[in-house]
Chains A and B, each alone.
Chain A
Amino acid sequence: MESIVERINQNKFWHFHGGIHPPEQKKSTNEKPIRQLSLPKQLILPLQQHIGRQGDLLVKVGDKVLKGQALTQSSNPMAVPVHAPTSGTISAIKKSVIAHPSGLSELCLFIDVDGEDTWRERNICQDFSQLSHQQIIGKIANAGIAGMGGAGFPTHIKVNTKPDINFLIINAAECEPYITADDLLMREHSTAIIDGIKILDQLLNPAFILIGIEDNKPQAIKALKHATESIEKIKVCVLETKYPSGGEKQLIKLLTGKEVASGALPIHSGIVVQNVATCFAISEAVINDTPLIRRVVTLAGQALAKPQNVWALLGTPVSYLLEQAGFVHEGQKQLANPPVIMGGPMMGFSILNENVPVVKTSNCILAPSKTEMPSAFDNNTSEVECIRCGQCAEVCPSQLLPQELQWSAKAKDHQQLTKLNLFDCIDCGACAYVCPSHIPLVQYYRVAKAEIRQQQQLDLKAEKAKERFEARKLRLEREKIAREEKHKKAAAARKAAMNKKTPEAGAAKSAVAAALARVKAKKAAGAKAQEISAEPQEVSNQVQDEKSQVKAAIARAKAKKEAKNKAVEPSVTPDVDTKQLSESSVSKTNVAEKAAPHKAADDKKAKIAAAIAKAKEKAKVKKAQEAELPTSAEAEKNPVGEQVKQTNVDDKKAKIAAAVAKAKAKAKAKAAEKKQAPASITENNSEEIK
C-alpha cells in the first residue's frame, strides 16, 4: 500500500486496458457558470429514482407540502425517501413516464408549485464532528441521497461499512463527452465538496482519500487543490483523459492498480468510491439539513441555443429544461422531434417523452443536432457483418472479446456468453463506438444479459415449483395413508365392540343403531340443502326456530334480488362467456351428483329432493336451449325458496346457498343473453349433465 501512495505522490498512475478518446465537446458548457432556473409550474417525482425499492407514500392528493418535506418513507434500507423540491400541492399521484430507457410508466407524485418556495423547518448543524456515526448515517439516509453518478446506489448503505477502508476514492473523472456538471460543481462549490469528503472521512476513516479527476478540467483541479491544501490525507490525482476512466472499476485500477474481483464490490478490497456530486449532497444534508432535491444538470448539444449547466429541481420535466436552454427544433421538416438523450452520448438513453422528469441520477440532457450525432438520428441500423478486426477487443476496458460475445449473443449461446464473462461488461459502449461494421454491440449484450437473467429466474422458479409439487405429492400420499390407517383402526374397533356380545355391547349396538337412525334423519333433512351447497357438511342437531326465520328472510331477500336481476337482464353486457355457462352448469351437476349418494341412503324425502334437483337441471338445460326466461326463473326461485324454508340448516349454509344462487342467477342471465348459443355447447351441457 505504501508503494501505491508513493506512486501517487509522484503522479504516476496505473492503466486500464483499452479505452477511447471520443471528442470531448465540453467547451460549450464548461465556460459558463451554473444557472439558477425559475420554478417550473409542475414537478413530477417518481417514487423510485434509483435501483432498490420505492418507499411508502406519506402524502395524499391535495396535501400541501413544504420544500424539503419527505414524501415517502421506508423501513427497507434499499429504499431512500423522496422529498418535495419546493412547496406546493400534491395534485395527482398516478403513473407517468419515468426516466428509464424502457419508456414505461411508474407511480409518480405530481406537485403543483405554489411559487413561494417555503422551507420546512431546518436544523443547521454547525459542527458535524460532534455527531455520532449513526446520526450522520441517519441524516444521509433521511436526505434521500443515492449515488449521483450512475446507478444510484443508496449512499447510506455504502458509507455504513465496517472499518479497514484503505482508500476512499472520490470520482470526479466525468469521462463522458459533453457532461460538465461535476466540473462546474467542483469549481463553484469546492469547499462544500471537501466538507462532504470530510464527513465521509469521519464515517469511514480510510487510510487515504484520492480524488480522481481527468486532466481536461484544469480549473476544477485548481479549485480542489486549493481547497485541500491543508489536508494531508486528501490527494488530488490528475489522470489522463480517456473514456471510461470514470467507471468505478476503471478508476480503482487507475489509482490503486488493484482490480475489483468479478462479482465482488470495491468494498471487498477495502475501497469505497463516491461521486463528487454525492459528496456535495452529503455536506448539504449533514450541515445544512437540506435533502437531495436538486442537482446540476448539463444541458448540451447543438440543438440547444444556450447550452449551460443548470441547477434543476428533481422532478423538473425535461421539456421545461429544454425550453429554458432554447431548444431549436432544427430540421423540422425531416423529423418532428430530434432525439433527446438523458445522460451522456456513450451511456445515456434516449427518452421517449419530454415530460420525463429529472431524477437523482440524471446528470445531462443532450439534444444533439444531426450533423453532430448522425447515428442518434439514424433509425435504420447500418450494421454489416463483423470482420473480426479486433478493434473492439482493443478498446474494451474490461478486456473482454466483444466480437466473440457478439457471435454468441446472436446465437443465444448463453453458456458460452457466461464463459466469456459477459457479466463483466460495464455497458460503456467503447466497442460499439469503434466498430467499423456499426454493430450495436452494447445492445446485443444488454439483450443477452436480460435473457440470461430471466432464464436464471425461470430456472429458479421452476426449481421451486418442482419442489412444491413434490412436497405436495408427498403430503397427499401421507394423508391418504393416514386416512386409510384411521379407517382401518375405526373399523377394527367397531368390529371388536360388536363381537363382544355383552350387554354393554348390546347397548352400544343399539346406541349405534340409534345414532345411525339419527344420522339418516338428519341426512334426509340436509339432502336438499346439500344440493345447492357446494360442500357436504355436517348438520347440527339442534334446530332453532329463530334461525329458520332468518333463513326465510334471506330467502325472501334472495327472491327479490332474483326478480331484480331479471329486470336487469336485458341490459346485461353482451360478452357472455359460453365456457362459464357450461362450467357453472357442470358444477351444479357435480353438486347434484355429490348429493346423490346421500339421497340414495334412504328416505323418500331425499328422493323427492333428488327429483326436484333433476327437474331443476332439466329446466336449466331447457332454458339454455330455449332461453325462456320468466318460467325458468320462476322454476328456479320457487324450489330454492321452499327448500330453504323447509330445511333446518344453519345460517352459514344459507349464505353459501345465496352465493351459489347468485352464481346460478349470473349463469342464467348469461344464458338468457346467449339466446343464440351454439347448439354444440348446449349439447355438451346435456351430455355432461347426464
Chain B
Amino acid sequence: MAFWIASSPHNHNQAETSSLMRLVIYALFPGIFAQWYFFGWGNLIHISLAVATALFCEFLVLSLRTKHGNQGTAKQAINKQLFDGSAILTAVLIGISLPAIAPWWITVIGAAFAIVVVKQLYGGLGHNPFNPAMAAYVMLLISFPVQMTSWQPPLALLSVDLSLSNTLNTIFTGFTSEGYSVEQLRASVDGYTMATPLDTLKTDASLGLTVYESMEKQVFGEHFSLGWEWLNAAFLLGGLFLIVKKAIAWQTPVSFLASLLICTFIAYSISPDSSASTMFHWLSGGCMLGAFFILTDPVTGATSVKGRLIMGALAGFFVYIIRDFGGYPDGVAFSVLLCNMAAPLIDQYTRPRTYGHKASTPKSSSKQEEAK
C-alpha cells in the first residue's frame, strides 16, 4: 500500500502562472488591434518575429541550463518553462513597443537580448531585476537611435499605401515594393518628416513654438494625438479587464496615472504655453501600455500595496520629467527601468506590520542590520 504524505493545504484555487500570463496576453489584443488599425501590419509582423526569436532563445538557454535529470523529465521541464507564457508576453510587449516599420533585425536583437541577457542570465523567470521588454527597448533605443525613432505616422496621414506585403518589404529590405525608403514613407505630403506627437511637441518646443501652435499639426489629429489616443484607450480597456480579473493590482496604474495627472496639472497651471494637457500625456506614447502592462509586471515591481503605490507615483513622476525635460520624447521605458531599480528598496521600506507586532520603523531595523 502506498500512501502520500503531503503537506497541507491539500487543495488549491487552481490558479496558475501560465494562465495568468495568457490572460495578460489576451488583454493586449484590443491594443494590438488598434495598432493594426491605425499603423498597419508593422507591429503584428514585429510581434510574430519577436515571439519566434524569444521562444528560440528561451529554448536554447533552458537546454543549456537544464542538465540534470533524465532526458524525459528534462524535456518536460523545458517544455513547461518554455510555454509558461512569460517569454511570449515579453516578446509581444517588445513587438508592440517598436516602431512599425523598424527593420527586422531590431526585433530579433531586442527579443534575444531581453530573453538571454535580461531574463535568463539573471536566473530566469522570477529572478530578473529589470523588465525584459523595457530593458531591451532601452538598449535598442540607445544603440540604434535612427531605426528606433523611425516612427511611421498613422496610416491616414501616409501618402503611400502600406499593405501587408509592402510592410513586409519595408521591414526586411528597408524599402517598399514601390521603392520608397523609410524616410520617404515618413514624409508628409508637403515634404516634412512626420514624427510621433510627443516627438513633434518636443522639437517644436525647442523651436520656440507654444503647445497650441504645435498642436495645430496634423499628427495631433482632432483630439490629442491621432491614432495614439485610440491605441492608448485600447490598452486602457485591456488593463481594466485585467484589474477586473484580478490579474494585476490596481494600485500601480492608478497611482501612476494620478501622479502623471498631478505633475502635468502643476506644470500646466504654471506654464500652459509650454506644457501639454494631462489628457495628452495620458493618451500618447506608451503611457497606458506602461501603466497596465509593464509597471504591473510582478517580477520587477514592488510587492506590497504601499510599495506599489509608491512605485506607480515614482514612475509617473519620471515619465513627466523625461517627457518634458529629458532628451528623449517618451520616458515610459526609462522610468520603468528606474522604478525596477528602486523596487527592492521600496519593498524593504514598505514591509507591512505583522500581526501582533508593533509598527517598526524601517530605520531601526536597518540600524540593527548595520550593527550586525
Which residues of A does B touch, CB under 8 Å? 16-17, 20, 22, 101, 103, 177, 249, 253, 259-264, 335-337, 339, 341, 343, 345-353, 366, 368, 372-373, 375-377, 379, 384-391, 393-394, 397-401, 403-404, 415, 419, 421, 424, 427, 429-430, 432-438, 440, 442-443, 446
Contact = CB atoms under 8 A, between A and B. Distances in A.
A34 B347 CA distance: 51
A345 B304 contact: no
A388 B8 contact: no
A373 B16 contact: no
Given A177-B11, A375-B11, A442-B9, A350 B298 contact: no
B11 A373 contact: yes
Contact of B355 (A368, A375, A397): A397
Dominant secondary structure at the A interface: loop
B8 A347 contact: yes
B157 interface: no
B304 A390 contact: yes
Interface string B296-332: 0011010111000000000000000000000000000
Interface in B1-23: 1-13, 15-17, 19-20
Given A17-B355, A339-B4, A388 B298 contact: yes
A387 B298 contact: yes
Contacts of B127: 385
B353 interface: yes
A411 B347 CA distance: 19
A397 B354 CA distance: 9
20 contacts: A16-B355, A20-B13, A22-B13, A253-B355, A262-B354, A346-B9, A350-B4, A372-B11, A375-B12, A379-B4, A384-B81, A388-B299, A389-B17, A393-B352, A424-B355, A429-B9, A433-B11, A433-B13, A436-B15, A437-B126
Contacts of A350: 3-6, 10
B20 A436 contact: yes
A337 B356 contact: no
Nearest to A401: B351
A9 B2 CA distance: 53
Residue among A341, A347, A384, A446 with the most chain B CB within 10 A? A384
Contacts of B80: 384
B249 interface: yes
Contact of A346 (B1, B8, B352): B8
B357 A424 contact: yes
Contacts of A337: 1-3
Contacts of B347: 404
B81 A387 contact: no
Contacts of B124: 385
| Size class of the B contact interface (CB-based, 8 Å) | 35 or more
B7 A336 contact: no
B357 A421 contact: yes
Residue among A101, A253, A436 with the most chain B CB within 10 A? A436
A432 B12 contact: yes
A161 B8 CA distance: 34
A501 B360 CA distance: 86
A446 B347 CA distance: 25
A376 B11 contact: yes
A384 B18 CA distance: 10
Contacts of A391: 15
Residue among B124, B305, B354 with the most chain A CB within 10 A? B354
Contacts of A443: 7
Contacts of B126: 385-388, 437
Contacts, number: 163
B84 interface: yes
Contacts of A388: 126, 298-299, 301, 303
Contacts of A384: 17, 80-81, 84, 125
**9 closest pairs, A vs B, by CB?**
A429-B9, A385-B126, A443-B7, A262-B356, A390-B303, A389-B298, A376-B10, A398-B355, A421-B354
B355 A437 contact: no
Contacts of B303: 388, 390, 393, 401, 403-404
A347 B6 CA distance: 11
B365 interface: yes
A101 to B, nearest CB: 7
Contacts of A403: 303
A262 B355 CA distance: 7
Contacts of B357: 261-262, 421, 424
Given A260-B356, A384-B81, A345 B7 contact: no
Interface string B120-154: 00001111000000000000000000000000000
A336 B9 contact: no
Contacts of B353: 399
Contacts of B10: 339, 341, 345-346, 348, 350, 366, 368, 373, 375-376
B8 A438 contact: no
A336 B1 contact: yes
Contacts of B299: 387-388
A636 B147 CA distance: 103
A177 B125 CA distance: 33
A443 B357 CA distance: 24
Contacts of A264: 356
B128 to A, nearest CB: 10
B212 to A, nearest CB: 44
A260 B16 CA distance: 35
B31 to A, nearest CB: 22
Contacts of B305: 394
A398 B5 contact: no
A430 B8 CA distance: 10
A591 to B, nearest CB: 54
A400 B5 contact: no
Contacts of A387: 17, 86, 125-126, 298-299
A404 B355 CA distance: 16
Contacts of A16: 355
Contact of A336 (B2, B15, B16): B2
A131 to B, nearest CB: 36
B354 A433 contact: no
Contacts of A429: 8-9
A49 B272 CA distance: 77
B144 to A, nearest CB: 30
Nearest to B80: A384
Nearest to B127: A385
Interface in B86-142: 86, 124-127
A103 B5 contact: yes
Nearest to B355: A398
B356 A249 contact: yes
A259 B17 CA distance: 34
B3 A353 contact: yes
Contact of A352 (B5, B7, B15, B84): B5
A262 B357 CA distance: 6
Contacts of B86: 387
Nearest to A381: B6
B9 A433 contact: yes
Contacts of A434: 13, 15
Contacts of B352: 17, 393, 399, 401
Nearest to A385: B126
A440 B7 contact: yes
B136 to A, nearest CB: 19
B4 A22 contact: no
Contacts of B1: 336-337
B5 A345 contact: no
Given A385-B124, A386-B126, 10 more contacts: A337-B1, A339-B4, A346-B8, A350-B10, A351-B3, A384-B81, A385-B126, A388-B298, A429-B8, A443-B7
B117 to A, nearest CB: 18
B323 to A, nearest CB: 29
B242 to A, nearest CB: 12
Contacts of A345: 8-11
A594 B125 CA distance: 72
Contacts of A348: 8, 10
Contacts of A440: 7
A419 B19 CA distance: 34
